[in-house]
Amino acid sequence: MRAVLDGLHHAGLLLEYTTSLGFAENASWTKLIPRAARTEVVRRSYNLPGEMIHVRPWRELVRHLALPVRWSSVVRHEFGWASVDAVYRDLDRHVGRRLLTLSRKSGLCGVYAYEDGAVDTFTVARNLGLTRFYDLPIAYWETSQRFLAEECLRLPEWAPTMEGRRDSPEKLERKRRELELADVVFCPSDFVCRSLPAWAIEGRRVVTAPFGSPVSGGSQGRQARTAEGPLRVLFAGALTQRKGLADLFAAVKLIGAKRIELVVMGACPVPLEFYHKAGPPFTYEGPRSHKEVLSLMGTCDVFCLPSIVEGRALVVQEALSQGLPVIVTDNTGTSDMVTPGQTGFVVPIRQPHAIAEKLAWFLENRSTLGDMMVASRRRASEAGWSNYQTIIARSAVEALAVSARPRS
């Protein structure tokens, strides 16, 4: 999202950014915030002039206050007053109303919105004759729901981890309506493009805009770990079967826990005890800042994310940027980043044996990790954020030019 803002702003296309909580990076009052709280607050800062940022803060503020004290009713999935969905729906309604004012005084000609927060915005925008840009960061809901339903049948004990199955029919209908109202759809990977229904491809432009990778940073100079001892394998992401964690657990059991040092990092949708009972021995690392995630990656040998359904798993590119070869599925949306034997391997979904085979390959070819580290960082550097920004801005310019042509 920050890359979208930067790309549109630098191209002279951005009039305003509307969000729940946000402020300009150079806001002087942030210096008064205690150091302990500053990291969380800075996450809401943007490289934009303050006058371009418009906020709708109250529900989001209540959500953040409710989470630490476990006020569960107010943040209950979809229906709590300050749930993520309620915050987003409220923002969507607000933007729709705001468009009426902006269009009268600013020459506004388009609006850019994300999945789950675009129905009201796009409905008003269509009535005003504005071009609607829709960002779909993950596979279309029908594809996601099908994959998750199959996983619930295959691994019913993991069903509680697949929260996407809890979405109401009303929420799914909103997703369908958003796509129906869109003029241009941005997808981060070919996998997401392929997930779109046939009707959605007709009459609208679908653009593949792959995410960028972070700079290699502090791990640039690190050396490959010693060939002695177990292979240190990292999984990073929510601890769910949507991300294939059960299959990774099964693969490590096939290899043998003494040969693999498994590190699992991310939020737990169910109690941690479930994972310790279901999996092989592993080291758990909780959610942390982006900088700390990259630092943890620098202590590992291989990154594995055998996801069942994603959009484009940015964490894979982050791992590559830190010199970690990867084991991923095509459904992560990142298979274009993988050169077999150089930056990692692509395995089929739902195939623990295939994952185990690649883990065994790394164990037997530890001497190649140094070269793979270099190749992984190089591949990540080739996928910079500037390319993503260029695609977004160029596509916006082209779509707006088409909409501005007089009709015969």
Q: Give the model's pLDDT for residue 163.
A: 80
pLDDT at 221 over 60: no
Q: Give the model's pLDDT for residue 408.
A: 40
Q: What is the number of H-type helices and E-type strands within the chain?
A: 16, 14
Three-point CA angle 84, 57, 83, nearest 5°: 15
pLDDT at 220 over 50: no
Q: Give the model's pLDDT for residue 407.
A: 46
Q: d(Cα 95, Cα 17) in Å, to the nearest integer? A: 10
- For residue range 278-300, list pLDDT tens digits in order: 999 999 999 988 889 999 999 99
Q: Tell me, which fold does domain 220-382 have in CATH?
A: Rossmann fold (3.40.50)
pLDDT at 219 over 80: no
Four-residue CA torsion sign, 27, 28, 32, 35: positive
Q: Is residue 236 within 8 Å of 305, Cβ to Cβ?
A: yes
Q: Rounded to the nearest 5°, which phi and psi values hold at 303?
A: -110, 135
How much of the chain, in percent, has pLDDT values that exceed 90? 80
State how far the alpha carbon of 187 is from the alpha carbons of 56, 115, 195, in Å.
27, 11, 10
Query: Which residues have C-beta within 8 Å of that of residue 56, sequence separation ≥ 6?
Result: 18, 19, 20, 90, 91, 94
Q: Give the model's pLDDT for residue 404.
A: 65
- For residue range 117-162, list pLDDT tens digits in order: 999 999 999 999 999 999 999 999 999 999 999 999 999 999 999 9
Q: Give the model's pLDDT for residue 289.
A: 83
- For residue range 8-21, list pLDDT tens digits in order: 999 999 999 999 99
- For residue range 335-351, list pLDDT tens digits in order: 999 999 999 999 999 99
Q: d(Cα 352, Cα 335) in Å, to the nearest integer? A: 18
- For residue range 311-339, list pLDDT tens digits in order: 999 999 999 999 999 999 999 999 999 99
Least confident residue range of 39-43, 58-62, 311-315, 361-365: 39-43
pTM for the structure as a whole: 0.91
Q: Give the model's pLDDT for residue 405.
A: 58
Q: Rounded to the nearest 5°, which phi and psi values hold at 23?
A: -160, 165
Read off the pLDDT of each residue in 184-198 and give the average, rounded to a whole number.
97
Per-domain residue ranges of the chain: 2-20+56-212+385-404, 220-382
Higher pLDDT, 36 or 32: 32
Q: d(Cα 337, Cα 319) in Å, to the nearest integer? A: 11
- Concatenating the DSSP letter of every residue in 25-76 gives TT-GGGGGS-HHHHHHHHTTEESS-GGGEEE--HHHHHHHHHTTTT-GGGG-
Q: What is the CATH number of domain 2-20+56-212+385-404?
A: 3.40.50
